[in-house]
């Protein structure tokens, strides 16, 4: 494998040839499922941008990943902030020159209560701003770098509670009644499909995944799966071959209906 040994403006080596070390950005990678997605992709020998808004938590995650032998670097990133996202794209260009995989993992529930008849509209707005508009903002800022990859992949971390098919199937497990979090994931699913349609003629594969009910801060650690298990479906879709799926929705047990 050839090495270009290019250096960037801060004198660090930049990955040169496509096909060498892959480069991924995981949003919300300082903890929970995002951290484990970063750890899992890093264990494949990839260079990992740890996207996170809180400096101390971001640097702690980077240090922990590096201590495990992973080539991780911190990417200051608030997905709700245009200038933060623009700066993150610039940083990745400097550090890596391209992006092979974007995992849009950052997400919030919006807090409770969320029953439609009494939800505070600000909770709905907040969930959509992070879980949907944040994904669009980050994806579009990173697309120029993804287009430089020979095999670009985008993975949107959604939830089965966003499946309208499951929500309307009697007896299906669909989580609590929600006018903010669940519909924000339905919206994210719909946006994923629209990206897949627009990008169908390119080599970019984009899919949504559900990690399953996972013990993280998001649910006060009530989930029943470990974050490592929650990361499995995202890692799988981040590493699908060129003839892999696009515009589809998966858990680690198989395909989920939209």
Note whether 107 binds ligand NAP by CB under 6 A. yes
Tell me the C-alpha to C-alpha distance, in Å, between residue 174 and each of 163, 169, 213.
8, 9, 11
Note whether 33 binds ligand NAP by CB under 6 A. yes
Q: What's the rounded Cα separation, in Å, for the pair 58 and 74?
A: 6
Rg of the chain taking only CA atoms, in angstroms: 18
* Per-residue contact flags (x/-) with ligand NAP for residues 120 to 159, judged by CB under 6 A: ----------x---x----------------------x-x
Q: What's the rounded Cα separation, in Å, for the pair 96 and 173?
A: 42
Q: What's the rounded Cα separation, in Å, for the pair 60 and 82?
A: 25
User: Smallest distance, Å, CB 136 to ligand NAP?
Assistant: 13
User: Smallest distance, Å, CB 85 to ligand NAP?
Assistant: 9
User: Smallest distance, Å, CB 4 to ligand NAP?
Assistant: 32
Q: Which residue in 28, 49, 74, 110 binds ligand NAP (CB under 6 A)?
A: 28
DSSP state, 224? Answer: S
Near ligand NAP by CB under 6 A, which window of 1-9, 46-54, 147-155, 193-201? 46-54
User: Smallest distance, Å, CB 188 to ligand NAP?
Assistant: 9
Q: Which residue in 108, 124, 126, 143 binds ligand NAP (CB under 6 A)?
A: 108
Nearer to ligand NAP, 15 or 77 (CB): 77
Tell me the C-alpha to C-alpha distance, in Å, between residue 179 and each of 94, 129, 249.
40, 14, 21
- Is 195 known to be catalytic? no
Tell me the C-alpha to C-alpha distance, in Å, between residue 21 and each of 48, 223, 239.
10, 34, 13
44 in Cβ contact with 71 (< 8 Å): no
Note whether 79 binds ligand NAP by CB under 6 A. yes
- Cα 57 versus chain centre, distance: 17
Half-sphere exposure (Cβ direction) of 199: Cα atoms closer than 13 Å: 24
Q: What are phi and psi of 35, to 5 degrees?
A: -60, -40
80 in Cβ contact with 129 (< 8 Å): yes
Nearer to ligand NAP, 151 or 178 (CB): 178
Residue of 35, 181, 195, 213 marked catalytic: 181
Nearer to ligand NAP, 217 or 243 (CB): 217
68 in Cβ contact with 92 (< 8 Å): no
Near ligand NAP by CB under 6 A, which window of 14-22, 40-48, 53-61, 242-250? 53-61
Q: Which residue in 16, 21, 43, 57 binds ligand NAP (CB under 6 A)?
A: 57
Binding to ligand NAP (CB under 6 A): which residues in 196-255? 210-211, 213-214, 216-219, 223
**Residue numbers at the binding site for ligand NAP (CB under 6 A):** 27-28, 30-34, 52-54, 57, 77-80, 105-108, 130, 134, 157, 159, 210-211, 213-214, 216-219, 223
As annotated, the active-site residues are 181
């Amino acid at each position: 494998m050839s090495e270009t040994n290019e250096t960037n403006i801060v004198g660090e080596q930049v990955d040169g040839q496509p096909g060498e070390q892959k480069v991924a950005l995981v949003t919300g990678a300082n903890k929970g499922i995002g951290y484990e997605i970063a750890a899992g992709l890093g264990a494949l020998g990839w260079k990992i941008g740890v996207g996170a808004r809180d400096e101390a938590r971001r640097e702690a995650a980077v240090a922990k990943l590096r201590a495990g032998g992973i080539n991780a670097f911190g990417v200051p990133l608030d997905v709700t902030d245009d200038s933060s996202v623009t700066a993150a794209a610039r940083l990745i260009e400097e550090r890596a020159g391209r992006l092979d995989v974007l995992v849009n993992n950052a997400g919030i529930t919006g807090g409770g209560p969320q029953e439609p008849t009494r939800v505070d509209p600000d909770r709905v707005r907040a969930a959509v701003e992070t879980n949907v508009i944040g994904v669009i903002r980050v994806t579009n800022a990173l697309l120029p770098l993804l287009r430089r990859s020979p095999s670009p992949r985008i993975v949107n971390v959604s939830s089965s509670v966003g499946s309208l098919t499951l929500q309307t199937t009697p007896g299906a497990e669909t989580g609590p009644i929600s006018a903010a979090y669940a519909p924000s994931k339905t919206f994210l699913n719909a946006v994923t499909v629209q990206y897949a349609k627009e990008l169908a003629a390119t080599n970019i594969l984009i899919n949504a995944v559900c990690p399953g009910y996972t013990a993280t801060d998001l649910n006060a650690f009530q989930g029943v799966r470990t974050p490592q298990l929650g990361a499995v479906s995202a890692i799988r879709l981040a590493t699908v071959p060129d003839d892999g799926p696009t515009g589809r929705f998966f858990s680690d047990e198989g395909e989920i209906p939209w």
